[in-house]
């Protein structure tokens, strides 16, 4: 497994090493993390069926030295603290995992190691989805079996226009069993079977917060491509493929 038994533990260890190398562990700088409203997070996109607008997910944002990093979570919390306190947060709690990931994304942005740590807005999600579908069209045949882990309506719509064999799984019980763009949303409990069925897996980067990333990497391996801002720093540290075309 990349980064040990748990990729988030591995990311935290690498981040903290970078903090120590720069002597910032005792630096009197506070990281402020807060939840964003849907409009703050995504603006006014052309469609409103994103989880952010359904009160099922929240984008939290960390601010470190004026540099911002974000993470999706369904268990948001506000937090103010220094780097040492954030490093000590228990990873068994998804609220704290989200705070840690957002903070690392902001810190890596501060270091200039990553870009695209702030979610795209307005027409950005639609433009990003079109570019993802265009890239997949260049890389794969129409018969390619694609699994999308995490319901993202724009991505599903544009992929469905190009490919015949698509499965989608999600953790949100409100989505499961519904048909979107001709595709029935399946529960995340079938991820293992669906990953074995697939030729390529497009997985939400928020899997590093909800804890499903370890299974995804173990089973899908090189087949997986992540999308979104949440996975930015982990993708950098572990060489994971990531698509996030319109983020800033």
Residue 107 is given by DSSP the state: H
Give me the domains of the chain, ranges plus CATH numbers.
7-111 (no CATH), 124-243 (3.40.50.11590)
Comparing 79 with 234, the larger pLDDT belongs to 234
**Is 60 exceeded by the pLDDT of residue 81?**
yes
Q: What is the DSSP string of 123-151?
A: THHHHHHHHHHHHHHHHS-TT-EEEEES-
The answer to whether 7 touches 225, Cβ cutoff 8 Å, is no
pLDDT digits (tens, 9 = 90+) for 176-205: 999 999 999 999 999 999 999 999 999 999
Comparing 12 with 38, the larger pLDDT belongs to 12
Say what the pLDDT of residue 3 is.
41
Bridge-based pairing of strands 200-204 and 183-187 is unpaired
CB atoms inside a 10 Å sphere around CB 31: 21
Say what the pLDDT of residue 1 is.
44
Reading the block at residue 246, the tokens are: 């319109």
Say what the pLDDT of residue 133 is.
97
Q: pTM of the prediction?
A: 0.91
Q: In Å, how far are 70, 172, 213 from 54, measured between CA atoms?
A: 19, 11, 24
Bridge-based pairing of strands 200-204 and 242-243 is unpaired
**Is 60 exceeded by the pLDDT of residue 4?**
no
Say what the pLDDT of residue 50 is.
57
The answer to whether 106 touches 69, Cβ cutoff 8 Å, is yes
Comparing 87 with 54, the larger pLDDT belongs to 87
pLDDT digits (tens, 9 = 90+) for 104-136: 999 999 999 999 999 998 898 999 999 999 999
> Cα–Cα distance between 68 and 110 in angstroms, integer?
8
**Is 50 exceeded by the pLDDT of residue 37?**
yes
| Mean predicted confidence (pLDDT) in 95-99 | 93
Comparing 56 with 147, the larger pLDDT belongs to 147
Conformation bin of residue 74: beta by default, left when phi > 0, alpha when psi is -120 to 50: alpha
CB atoms inside a 10 Å sphere around CB 240: 20
Which parts of 22-147 fold into alpha helices (H)?
38-42, 83-87, 94-111, 124-139
């Amino acid at each position: 497994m990349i980064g040990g038994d748990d990729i988030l533990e591995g990311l935290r260890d690498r981040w903290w090493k970078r903090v120590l190398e720069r002597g910032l562990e005792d630096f009197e700088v506070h990281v402020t993390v807060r939840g964003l409203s849907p409009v703050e997070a995504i603006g006014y996109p052309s469609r409103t069926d994103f989880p952010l607008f359904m009160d099922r997910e929240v984008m939290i944002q960390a601010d470190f030295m004026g540099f911002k990093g974000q993470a999706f979570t369904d268990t948001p919390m506000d937090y103010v603290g220094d780097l040492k306190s954030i490093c000590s947060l228990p990873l068994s709690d998804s609220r704290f995992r989200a705070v840690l990931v957002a903070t690392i994304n902001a810190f890596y942005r501060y270091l200039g190691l990553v870009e695209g740590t702030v979610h795209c807005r307005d027409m950005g999600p639609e433009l990003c989805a079109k570019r993802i579908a265009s890239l997949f069209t260049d890389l794969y045949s129409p018969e390619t079996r694609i699994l999308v882990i995490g319901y993202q309506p724009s991505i599903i719509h544009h992929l469905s226009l190009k490919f015949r064999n698509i499965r989608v799984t999600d953790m949100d019980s409100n989505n499961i069993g519904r048909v979107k763009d001709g595709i029935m949303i399946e529960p995340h409990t079938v991820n293992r079977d669906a990953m074995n069925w697939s030729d390529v897996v497009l997985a939400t980067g928020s899997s590093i917060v909800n804890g499903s990333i370890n299974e995804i990497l173990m089973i899908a391996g090189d087949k997986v491509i992540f999308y979104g801002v949440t996975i930015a720093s982990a993708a950098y540290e572990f060489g994971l493929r990531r698509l996030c075309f319109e983020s800033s």
